[in-house]
Amino acid sequence: MADTDTLAATDSNFDDEVLKAELPVLVDFWAEWCGPCKSVGPLIDSLATEYQGRVKVMKLDVDNNPGVAGRFNVRSIPTIMVFKDGELKETAVGVRPRPLLERLLEPYV
């Protein structure tokens, strides 16, 4: 993740980085062992680059940050959530094509 515009969300920074963010935030809930998560990762990174300055894109490792995952009832990964003004606006579970993720973001950009 260091070479991309994607940021790491954690249990400790989630409220400040996501819920209090001025920009809409896309959060990718993932885990290292999750094959589908790895296939979605590059797509999430490309969205971070494309929407830079308009959307904050973050990844949250559910194994290392179970608090936030539990708080938002993440039961399956990958799960993509869009937050705006401190509220959860959209959720997509499973591998989703880029056009669907862009449609999730567009109303909030």
Per-residue pLDDT in tens (0 to 9) along the chain, 109 residues: 444 678 999 999 999 999 999 999 999 999 999 999 999 999 999 999 999 999 999 999 999 999 999 999 999 999 999 999 999 999 999 999 999 999 999 999 9
Distances (CA, A) of 57 to 1, 41, 54: 11, 11, 10
Separation between Cα atoms, residue 26 and residue 28, nearest integer Å: 7
- Could you confirm whether 100 is annotated as catalytic? no
Tell me, yes or no, whether 72 lies in a domain.
yes
Among residues 100, 109, 85, 82, which one has the least CA distance to residue 28? 82
Tell me, yes or no, whether 2 lies in a domain.
no
Q: Of residues 37, 60, 69, 104, which has the active-site annotation? A: 37
- Residue at 67: amino acid letter: G
- Residue 24 structural domain: 7-108
Q: Of residues 9, 18, 25, 34, which has the active-site annotation? A: 34
Tell me, yes or no, whether 1 lies in a domain.
no
Tell me, yes or no, whether 25 lies in a domain.
yes
Domain count, the chain: 1
Tell me, yes or no, whether 99 lies in a domain.
yes
**Tell me, what CATH number does 90's domain have?**
3.40.30.10
- Could you confirm whether 37 is annotated as catalytic? yes
Tell me, yes or no, whether 43 lies in a domain.
yes
This prediction has a pTM of 0.93
Give the torsion through C-alpha atoms of 18, 19, 20, 26, to 10 deg.
40
